[in-house]
Homo-oligomer: A and B are copies of this chain.
Amino acid sequence: MHWVLLANGHCQLAPRIQNLLSTADRLVAVDGGGSHLLAMGLTPHLAVGDMDSIPSELLELYRRQGVPLHLHPPQKDATDLELALHLAFAGQATRITLLGATGGRLDHTLGNLFLLSLCQAHSVPTCIMDAAQSVYLADSFLELQGTVGDTLSLMPVTPQAAGVTLSGLEYPLQNATLHFGTTWGMSNVFTSSTATVRLETGRLLVFHLHRD
């Protein structure tokens, strides 16, 4: 079951994102992210948020439409998106896509990227997607479908990522070690429609920047 969570960062309606929204099994409005859905004429299956950050008219609309609401006070120990992810795990999500998770406050964006590790701990493949890119957290194997010329950047979020082997890319690493805080893995280029990332230890944030 594919859950799509819409947070309140930027959300530009690229065709890739429209396709995704039309095939979601569960569509979740996270906090102000519901406004993006409203602009597209979509009603979420459920809404999650602070009592003070969901726009009141949207909250009223959701109540009228009978959308299940998961409201909680602003003074809490996790962000709305983290709480929404826990609902997805409990709801048998087998795949999660996060939209509107980038482009706002930088600390929020980074917090959202790091939440991918929570999804990994729950064994649910998760992607953060915006109009420009798809971001994944890899700890073993990842296969990406793209276009020749797409950009791929790898960034360890562990002290190192070892046994890194890449295929389908201009700089095909073989059993390499990437260290946290160096920029060696930045801006590789797709030379095929399929690229693969394999690693033995550590974790890599993988940025796939789409040309189209």
Residues of A participating in the B interface, judged by any CB pair closer than 8 Å: 77-79, 81-82, 102, 105-111, 113-118, 121, 132-133, 135, 151, 153, 155, 157-159, 180-184, 186-187, 205, 207, 209
Contact = CB atoms under 8 A, between A and B. Distances in A.
A181 B78 CA distance: 11
Nearest to A78: B183
B116 A82 contact: no
Given A106-B109, A107-B186, A209-B105, A114 B79 contact: no
Given A105-B209, A209-B105, A111 B183 contact: yes
A79 B81 CA distance: 32
A145 B104 CA distance: 24
Contact of A110 (B132, B159, B205): B205
A168 to B, nearest CB: 18
In this complex, which of A106, A110, A118, A155 has the most chain B Cβ atoms within 10 angstroms of its Cβ?
Answer: A106
In this complex, which of A111, A157, A187, A205 has the most chain B Cβ atoms within 10 angstroms of its Cβ?
Answer: A111
The 7 tightest CB contacts between A and B, nearest first, are: A117-B181, A107-B153, A107-B207, A79-B183, A114-B181, A111-B183, A82-B183
Contacts of A77: 184
Contacts of A118: 181-182
A157 B182 contact: no
A135 B106 contact: yes
Contacts of A81: 183
A183 B7 CA distance: 15
A155 B107 contact: yes
A183 B109 contact: no
Contacts of A132: 105-106
A107 B157 contact: no
A109 B106 CA distance: 9
